[in-house]
């Protein structure tokens, strides 16, 4: 602490001594050049004022340091006095605790011993609390002193900086005064114009030196700025090179990833095409099998009824695989022409077979009692568009038991035709919906042109507006079947 206190004084003294040495050296040089030289009164006054200002600063610093040391000494004495008092007080308490232990040893009753122990515990707790309080106070005081010490060091540094600035200003002022005095001494006995010329020359020289000093300082500052800019440029250049290298690597990775994704897209597109074609072929085979089964059932029904069966025209059965757009127009035209020829042939023989078919159907309804077989008969009945008069007595009895008139047979056949058409229409809608859902996931597969199949399905869809009526007719159909079954069973029992 004392060394820190002495260092500012030594620092304060050293600049003053240095200034005095400089002044003495300059005076010595002046005396060497001109022995009878005597400083002017202005320089003497200037030296006195400068020394007075420096001495005032030093005196103020010394007074402040003395006051601070007195405060520290007073705090130290009070702290020692407090420690001594605390030592005496704690000694008295410790003696009291020891006496309490002696008295506690003499106790024989449990309650008295417990009371003595509680009292000893309170005394020990009070002693510990006093010690902890003293320790906390000392810690707080130490922290305050540390803060004051740091603050004093900062103030001393500021005072030193102020003294150094004052000394530098004094040196500059003295140097300027000595130069002016030197110019006056050198000019001395010369004429007035020459003297003015020398004064101007000295002034210009002083300004030139000042400008050169500023220029050198500016040059040093610019050089430092250039050095900083070069170092910053080198850092940024290295950073940009690293970033460029990283971006190039990232770009290459992105290009490779893009190529891999393109390959995967092409692969999955080809796989979807193959899968679509395979699924199409499988579904097409299943549809053809179902069509063949339906035709087989139809042929069996006609055989049972004793009717001549002719395979209906189905040009779509000859196609295989998804339809290509290039073949769409040709195939549609072929389909239409084929359907026109087939419809012409069907109309010529339909009227000839209607009477035979209706007669065979009615005989079969009278002879067979199997309900499933009767439903197969219905599939042939609803193909008829007109019915001749029925002369069979058994058939008349059957229709009378069912509550059906002979005149109602055309209505029954029309109902069965409409029911079949509605059923086929529902199947077509379900199939189209399923194909639409499956085609929704094939974005890369070429869309199928279904114009070849539309001609076939459009020929079947003629009763879309009869859905409510069809439902009611289905209910009537179920009731008729029940009545027919009851009449057949009663007839069998009668025989």
User: Is 326 in the same domain as 431?
Assistant: yes
Q: Is residue 246 part of a domain?
A: no
User: Is 183 in the same domain as 294?
Assistant: no
User: Is 289 in the same domain as 174?
Assistant: no
State whether the Cα torsion 264-266-268-270 is positive or negative: negative
Q: Is residue 240 part of a domain?
A: no
User: Is 12 in the same domain as 128?
Assistant: yes
Nearest-angstrom CA–CA distance, 356 and 137: 130
Q: Is residue 210 part of a domain?
A: no
* Domain extent at residue 32: 2-189
CA of 366: how far to CAs of 231, 493, 495, in Å?
114, 15, 14
Both tokens of 66, joined, read 């003395």
CB atoms within 10 A of CB 473: 20
User: Is 184 in the same domain as 311?
Assistant: no
Q: Is residue 414 part of a domain?
A: yes
The 8-class DSSP code of residue 321 comes to S
Q: Is residue 199 part of a domain?
A: no
User: Is 275 in the same domain as 178?
Assistant: no
Cα maximum dimension of the chain = 179
User: Is 328 in the same domain as 456?
Assistant: yes
Place of tokens 């002495």: 6
Let me know how long the chain is: 495
The 8-class DSSP code of residue 448 comes to P
Q: b/e map of 381-396 (b: 16 or more CB within 10 Å)?
A: bbbbeebeeeeeeebe
CB 323 within 8 A of CB 452: yes
User: Is 157 in the same domain as 67?
Assistant: yes
Ranges in the chain, pLDDT < 50 = 1-38, 189-191, 325-348, 351, 355, 357, 360-361, 363-395, 397-398, 401, 438-449, 463
Task: State the number of CA atoms in the 13 A half-sphere of 291 facing the CB.
Answer: 14
Helix (H, G, I), strand (E, B) or coil at 37: coil
Query: Among residues 162, 189, 216, which one ends one of the domains?
Result: 189
User: Is 311 in the same domain as 173?
Assistant: no
Q: Is residue 200 part of a domain?
A: no
Domain count, the chain: 2
CB atoms within 10 A of CB 45: 10
User: Is 286 in the same domain as 173?
Assistant: no
As a dihedral over the C-alpha atoms of residue 484, residue 485, residue 488, residue 489, rounded to 10 degrees, the angle is: -150
User: Is 40 in the same domain as 185?
Assistant: yes
Query: Among residues 163, 189, 215, which one ends one of the domains?
Result: 189
Q: Is residue 65 part of a domain?
A: yes
Query: Among residues 171, 189, 207, which one ends one of the domains?
Result: 189
Q: Is residue 219 part of a domain?
A: no
Q: What is the pLDDT of residue 111?
A: 79
User: Is 293 in the same domain as 179?
Assistant: no
């Amino acid at each position: 602490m004392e060394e820190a206190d002495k260092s500012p004084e030594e620092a304060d003294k050293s600049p003053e001594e240095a200034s005095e040495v400089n002044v003495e050296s300059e005076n010595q040089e002046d005396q060497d050049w001109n022995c009878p030289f005597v400083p002017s009164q202005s320089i003497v006054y200037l030296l006195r004022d400068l020394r007075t200002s420096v001495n005032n600063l030093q005196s103020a610093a010394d007074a402040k340091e003395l006051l601070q040391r007195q405060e520290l000494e007073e705090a130290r004495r009070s702290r020692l006095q407090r420690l001594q008092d605390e030592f005496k007080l704690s000694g008295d308490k410790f003696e009291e605790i020891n006496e309490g232990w002696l008295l506690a040893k003499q106790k024989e009753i449990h309650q008295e011993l417990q009371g003595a122990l509680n009292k000893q515990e309170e005394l020990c707790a009070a002693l510990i609390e006093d010690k902890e309080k003293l320790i906390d106070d000392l810690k707080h005081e130490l922290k305050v002193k540390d803060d004051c010490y740091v603050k004093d060091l900062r103030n001393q540094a500021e005072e030193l900086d102020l003294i150094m600035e004052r000394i530098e200003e004094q040196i500059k002022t003295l140097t300027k005064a000595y130069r002016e005095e030197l110019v006056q001494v050198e000019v001395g006995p010369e004429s007035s114009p020459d003297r003015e010329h020398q004064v101007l020359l000295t002034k210009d020289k002083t300004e030139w030196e000042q400008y050169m000093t500023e220029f050198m300082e500016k040059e040093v500052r610019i050089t430092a700025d250039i050095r900083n800019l070069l170092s910053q440029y080198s850092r940024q250049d290295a950073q940009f090179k690293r970033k460029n290298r990283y971006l190039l690597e990232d770009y290459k990775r992105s290009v490779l990833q893009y190529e891999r994704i393109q390959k995967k897209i092409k692969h999955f597109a080809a796989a979807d095409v193959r899968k679509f074609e395979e699924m199409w072929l499988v579904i097409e085979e299943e549809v053809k099998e179902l069509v063949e089964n339906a035709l087989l059932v139809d042929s069996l029904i006609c055989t049972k009824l004793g009717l001549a069966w002719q395979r209906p025209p189905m040009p779509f059965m000859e196609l295989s695989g998804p339809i290509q757009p290039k073949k769409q127009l040709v195939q549609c035209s072929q389909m239409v022409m084929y359907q026109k020829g087939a419809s012409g042939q069907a109309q010529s023989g339909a009227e000839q077979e209607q009477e035979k078919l209706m007669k065979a159907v009615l005989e079969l309804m009278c002879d067979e009692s199997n309900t499933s077989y009767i439903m197969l008969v219905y599939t042939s009945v609803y193909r008829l568009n007109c019915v001749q008069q029925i002369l069979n007595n058994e058939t008349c009895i059957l229709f009378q038991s069912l509550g059906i008139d002979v005149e109602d047979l055309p209505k029954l056949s029309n109902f069965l035709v409409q029911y079949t058409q509605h059923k086929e229409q529902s199947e077509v809608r379900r199939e189209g919906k399923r194909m639409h859902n499956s085609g929704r996931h094939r974005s890369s597969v070429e869309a199928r042109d279904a114009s070849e199949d539309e001609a076939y399905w459009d020929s079947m869809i003629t009763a879309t507006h009869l859905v409510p009526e069809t439902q009611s007719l289905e209910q009537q159909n179920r009731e008729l079947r029940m009545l027919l079954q009851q009449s057949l069973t009663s007839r069998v029992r009668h025989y």
